[in-house]
Amino acid sequence: MNGALLAIDIEKRLDPIRLEVRLEAGQEILVLFGPSGAGKTSTLNAVAGLLAPEAGEIRLGSELLFRRRRPGEPVNVPARRRGIGYVFQSYALFPHLSAWENVGYALARKRGGRGRIAELLEQMGLTHLAGRYPHELSGGQQQRVAIARALAGEPRLLLLDEPFAALDAAVRDQLQGDLRRLQAERGLTVLYVTHRLEDAFAVGHRLAVIREGRVEQAGSLEEVFRQPSSRQVASILGLRNLFQARVVRAGAEALLLDWDGLLLEALPQPAAGPTVTAYIRPEDVKVLYPDRPLMDAVRHNQVEARILERRLQANLQTLLVGLPNGRTLEVGFPLRLYASLRLAPGDSVRLAVRKEGVVVLRPPALGRETRP
């Protein structure tokens, strides 16, 4: 990545996994996403200097923070000298110190420290709570204090470990907006750990999917979500309608797939093998009105189905339908669509799957699909 400010290349045995992380980040919020135990927090701790890798290098800007078992002299800069701010999942505020004292812990003896504390409290909307202790603050207020404290030392890098997991939706949304604003204003490099895809989309610029200690895929949010690199990444992302199919024909206009007897057209692929793993985006499955002419966008991949289940949410409607090949398919669309259709469990319905909505996963790199 051009202009990378943070470069990580580390190895560490963490029973039962081995951490082997290679990542770069610029002035952005890079989200480390994956299931619990994947190695996300361990990666943050290694960058912060709280965990020593067995081998590798960590660079921040022009400074080498860590080197072991690599060409050159070993280096391990102490955590306190790395210029990194860390917001822990548990906030880790000092319970015997007020909000003012927590934020100013690293500034007490520095010239202009009091002015800096006041500025940070104001930025985070905490001025009126400066004298309160952590137990007198709400979860959202404690998190704001933790962020202000992490920013007090003018860090080059900000690490956040599941920072908003315990907060209600309204507070979480507000803090996510605050984080994006702070990152933009200060030009920070931010590593943000979460296992919630909603959080990743709310704050992130790029996404790194981590599984069993390794980075399976890294890229823009849209790239990773719309074109996951493997079945494992798709599963971690919670993608629906995942299936394997046989390639019947690979032409210039379309890729024809046989999904257990159901033929589907996808966009042409440069190097599709005899079998592929694919998924169908629920929002790209369209319900056809029985009494209306077909538009070009829904002329492909038509299929009769039977509604098995219907779920209603605030602004979304989801149908689970049974297909002629015995498989099930999830269909999603805004609540206002298809209002004139009954769409009840047991009803037959005709569907069309857009070619663009049949996403063929790229084959994994050699040795990455399965590991000993």
In DSSP notation, 271-305 reads: T--SEEEEEE-GGGEEEPPTTSPPPGGGSSSEEEE
Q: Does domain 6-235 have CATH number 3.40.50.2000?
A: no
Q: Are 20 and 211 in contact (CB under 8 A)?
A: no
Q: Where in the chain are all domains bearing CATH 3.40.50.300?
A: 6-235
**Answer CATH for 242-360 from 2.40.50.100, 3.10.450.50, 3.90.550.10, 3.40.50.2300:** 2.40.50.100
pLDDT in tens for each of the 372 residues of the chain?
445 699 999 999 998 899 999 999 999 999 999 998 999 999 999 999 999 999 999 999 999 999 999 999 999 999 999 999 999 988 889 999 999 999 998 776 677 788 999 999 998 999 999 999 999 999 999 999 999 999 998 898 999 999 888 788 788 888 899 999 999 999 999 999 998 887 888 899 999 999 999 999 999 988 898 788 888 898 898 888 988 899 999 988 899 999 999 999 999 877 667 888 888 999 999 999 988 877 777 788 999 999 999 999 878 899 999 999 999 999 999 988 998 888 999 999 999 999 989 988 765 433 333 322
Q: How far is Cα 147 from Cα 161, in angstroms, rounded to an integer?
A: 11
Q: Where in the chain are all domains bearing CATH 2.40.50.100?
A: 242-360
Q: What is the CA radius of gyration of the chain?
A: 25
Q: How far is Cα 152 from Cα 240, in angstroms, rounded to an integer?
A: 43
